[in-house]
Amino acid sequence: MNAKILGMLPQFGNPDEYTVKKIIASYGIDVPRSVLIRTGDEEFDLDFPLVIKVSDPKIMHKSDVGGVVLGINDSDQLHREISSMRSRFPESNIMVEEMEHKGLEIIVGLVNDANFGNTIMLGMGGVYTELYRDVVFRLTPIIERDAADMIDSVKIRDFEKGFRCIAVSREAIIKLLLRVSQISEDLGDNLEMLDLNPVIVNGDRIFAVDAKLVIRR
């Protein structure tokens, strides 16, 4: 495993979302600005609207258990929601994050396949992942031509010229795929799964707004 990643991981278990985002940000992948709340007394300077999330590697599907609150617009609401989430998840950290603008939601991920090794995935993200099941896989490492072929293999290609006020940059998605491929190479056999879903794309702006990483020790 790459020493850069190893130094960011907890001694035991898997990293929480806050840590995963620090890891991917070190590869040049943009993530929303955020802070980790441990005591509730931390001061921070983030711009509304905000999102709060439970940040706990044992909770993989935060929305299913009420671990995500969107659209927080003022300090009073923020403190109420933090207190409420703290009461529901007393043993977990809470993450406060700037809420990203709307755009096309895509999924980018890595998985260690038992037969083929590490593979990279691209497809429509968010609620569309299960609806369309429109995904493509490639073995890693990939090069720029592979990344372009992946884009052409899924519905994301239809948004390049713009659709319903949403346009995406092919070059920006290619850069993202190449950076994720590098993470795959650096993790090697220690990778179990990396899931960036959704990644919000609007023009040249790409932000991974949710991130999960499972590793093999």
In a domain? residue 91: yes
Q: What is the pLDDT of residues 117-164, one digit of tens each?
A: 999 999 998 766 666 678 999 999 999 999 999 999 998 888 877 666
In a domain? residue 110: yes
In a domain? residue 191: yes
Domain range spanning residue 138?
Answer: 102-215
**44 & 143 share domain:** no
Provide the CATH number for the domain around residue 117: 3.30.470.20
What are the beta bridge partners of residue 194?
110, 213
**180 & 120 share domain:** yes
**57 & 115 share domain:** no
Look at residues 121, 118, 175 and name the one whose alpha carbon lies nearest to residue 141: 118
How many Cα atoms sit within 13 Å of 86 on the Cβ side? 13
- The answer to whether 148 touches 156, Cβ cutoff 8 Å, is no
In a domain? residue 171: yes
**205 & 147 share domain:** yes
Q: What is the pLDDT of residues 57-87, one digit of tens each?
A: 999 889 889 999 999 999 999 999 999 999 9
What is the DSSP pairing of strand 68-72 with strand 211-215?
unpaired
Please, is 12 exposed, middle or buried when counting C-beta atoms within 10 Å of its C-beta (0-12, 13-18, 19+)? exposed
Lowest-pLDDT range of 25-29, 31-35, 119-123, 200-204: 200-204
Domains held by the chain: number: 2
- pTM (two decimals): 0.92
- The Cα 112–Cα 13 span in angstroms is 18
Q: What is the mean pLDDT of residues 191-214?
A: 95
Predicted confidence at residue 128, as pLDDT, reads: 64
**52 & 108 share domain:** no
